[in-house]
């Protein structure tokens, strides 16, 4: 297939639309089901690059959950704990495949933002992954292959219209890439920069003890940032992005946004949230929305008389601000990466509140000394990577 006609571009009025190879060669994808759109395929190609690089860097099966050309979450395929299964609504007791665990964890980073996502897998999609996806609201998936059973399961989604795309894992893009904006063509070299542990060698803080898990987490963070709309900051724990702040004009707003998402991820593991008793008829999206509101400052919206009865079997107690702050304070071992330098120590101050102990950023600010000093104040480990990772 040398070109694929699209229904329309970013918006319904943007016609005609298609994808094709400038050199006239075959497209590196095969559409196995559905009819993906313009934004679907932007998500597909960006997310595939992320999971492919993450697998190469860690050796672990990797997955991503994309929305509007940025990851809502990304993760490697480590086993799910009992708590993980509860907060990600895994309804089976059997041990799941590593690639299924990777996707469940990627989607679990921010289930609200992953609603209607595009899924990406570094490895063959199996039945475990397909069964989990079947129960979630998702627009499509890209993977290097699918087992026959998985493909049949996925073809039942969205009344048979679920988008299933197979990517040629051996495909290598051209060295130069082009983008048209306002009738003007931009050209640049494809970003082939390799992210691995060597980026973490320049530790500039007094504490230089970077654990093996922290190295993996920082690599997850940096590769995630490489395919996140800038400015961006990413919090990671145990091989899973737990908070991604994308597309903000201010670095501190990225750090706050990603930090608040990381806090929400952790709050979902609190006893108060785990003990919520939902009515039997509630659907997953409504359950996710209810949890998000319950742990927010707008909790009264789900606890009001006449409303809570539609959501919960038993009216929950208010999760007070003091209780939430105390629970978040128990979080530790979190890593954070930034796609460009932190201009002030305030980013470190905010990250600390979400349990961050390890940081990777390019360095190069005229206030690097202030950033290092702030990290030293909290005995953090800070590595300067020397490489900016902007993505637009």
Distance of alpha carbon 80 from alpha carbon 147, whole angstroms: 22
User: Could you give phi then psi for residue 222, rounded to 5 degrees?
Assistant: -70, -40
Distance of alpha carbon 44 from alpha carbon 39, whole angstroms: 8
**∠ Cα 13 248 216 (to 5°):** 110
Q: Please state, as a whole number, how many other Cβ atoms lie within 10 Å of the Cβ of residue 153.
A: 22
Q: Which of 68, 134, 353, 391 is catalytic?
A: 68
- Widest pairwise Cα distance in the chain: 63
Q: Which of 46, 163, 231, 289 is catalytic?
A: 231
Peptide bond before 231: cis, by omega within 30 degrees of 0? yes
Is 392 an annotated catalytic residue? yes
Is 231 an annotated catalytic residue? yes
User: Could you give phi then psi for residue 260, rounded to 5 degrees?
Assistant: -65, -35
Distance of alpha carbon 232 from alpha carbon 313, whole angstroms: 40
Q: Which of 368-383 are b and which e, b meaning 16 or more Cβ less than 10 Å from the residue's Cβ?
A: bebbbebbeeeebbbb
Q: Measuring CA to CA, which residue among 24, 51, 70 is closest to residue 223?
A: 51
Q: Which of 94, 159, 212, 392 is catalytic?
A: 392
Q: Measuring CA to CA, which residue among 50, 19, 3 is closest to residue 226?
A: 50
Strand pairing category for 3-6 and 17-20: antiparallel
Per DSSP, 199 falls in state G
Strand partners, 163: 140
Is 67 an annotated catalytic residue? yes
Is 325 an annotated catalytic residue? no
Distance of alpha carbon 203 from alpha carbon 161, whole angstroms: 50
For residue 206, CA distances in Å to 20, 300, 343, 347, 348 come to 52, 46, 20, 19, 15
Angle between helices 127-134 and 98-108 (to 10 degrees): 30
387: its two tokens: 């490489």
Q: Measuring CA to CA, which residue among 210, 234, 209, 238 is closest to residue 224?
A: 234
Q: Which of 67, 157, 166, 324 is catalytic?
A: 67
Cite the active site residues: 67-68, 231, 392
């Amino acid at each position: 297939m040398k070109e694929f006609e699209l229904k329309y571009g970013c918006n319904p009025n943007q016609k005609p639309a298609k994808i094709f190879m400038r050199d006239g060669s075959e497209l590196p994808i095969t559409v196995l089901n559905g009819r993906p759109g313009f934004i679907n395929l932007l998500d597909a190609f960006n997310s595939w690059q992320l999971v492919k690089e993450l697998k190469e860097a860690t050796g672990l099966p990797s997955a991503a959950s994309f929305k509007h050309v940025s990851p809502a979450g990304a993760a490697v395929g480590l086993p799910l704990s009992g708590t993980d299964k509860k907060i990600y609504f895994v309804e089976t007791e059997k041990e799941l495949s590593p690639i299924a665990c990777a996707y469940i964890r990627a989607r679990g980073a921010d289930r609200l933002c992953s609603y209607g996502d595009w899924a990406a897998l570094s490895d063959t999609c199996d039945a475990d992954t397909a069964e989990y996806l079947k129960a979630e609201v998702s627009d499509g998936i890209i993977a290097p292959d699918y087992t026959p059973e998985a493909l049949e399961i996925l073809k039942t989604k969205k009344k048979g219209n679920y988008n299933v795309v197979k990517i040629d894992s051996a495909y290598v893009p051209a060295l130069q890439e082009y983008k048209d904006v306002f009738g003007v063509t931009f050209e640049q070299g494809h970003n082939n920069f390799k992210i691995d542990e060597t980026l973490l060698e320049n530790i500039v803080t007094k504490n230089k003890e970077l654990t093996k898990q922290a190295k993996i987490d920082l690599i997850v963070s940096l590769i995630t940032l490489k395919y996140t709309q800038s400015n961006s900051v990413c919090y990671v724990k145990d091989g899973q992005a737990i908070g991604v702040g994308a597309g903000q004009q201010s670095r501190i707003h990225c750090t706050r946004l990603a930090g608040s998402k990381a806090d929400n991820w952790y709050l979902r593991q609190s006893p108060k949230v785990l003990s919520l008793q939902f009515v039997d008829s509630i659907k997953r999206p409504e359950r996710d929305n209810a949890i998000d509101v319950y742990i927010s400052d707008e909790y009264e919206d789900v606890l009001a008389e006449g409303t809570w009865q539609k959501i919960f079997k038993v009216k929950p107690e208010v999760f007070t601000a003091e209780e939430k702050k105390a629970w978040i304070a128990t979080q530790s071992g979190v890593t954070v990466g930034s796609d460009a330098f932190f201009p002030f120590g305030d980013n470190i101050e905010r990250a600390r509140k979400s349990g961050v102990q390890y940081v990777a950023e390019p360095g190069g600010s005229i206030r690097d000394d202030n950033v290092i000093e702030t990290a030293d104040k909290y005995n953090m480990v800070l590595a300067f990577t020397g490489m900016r990772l902007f993505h637009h």
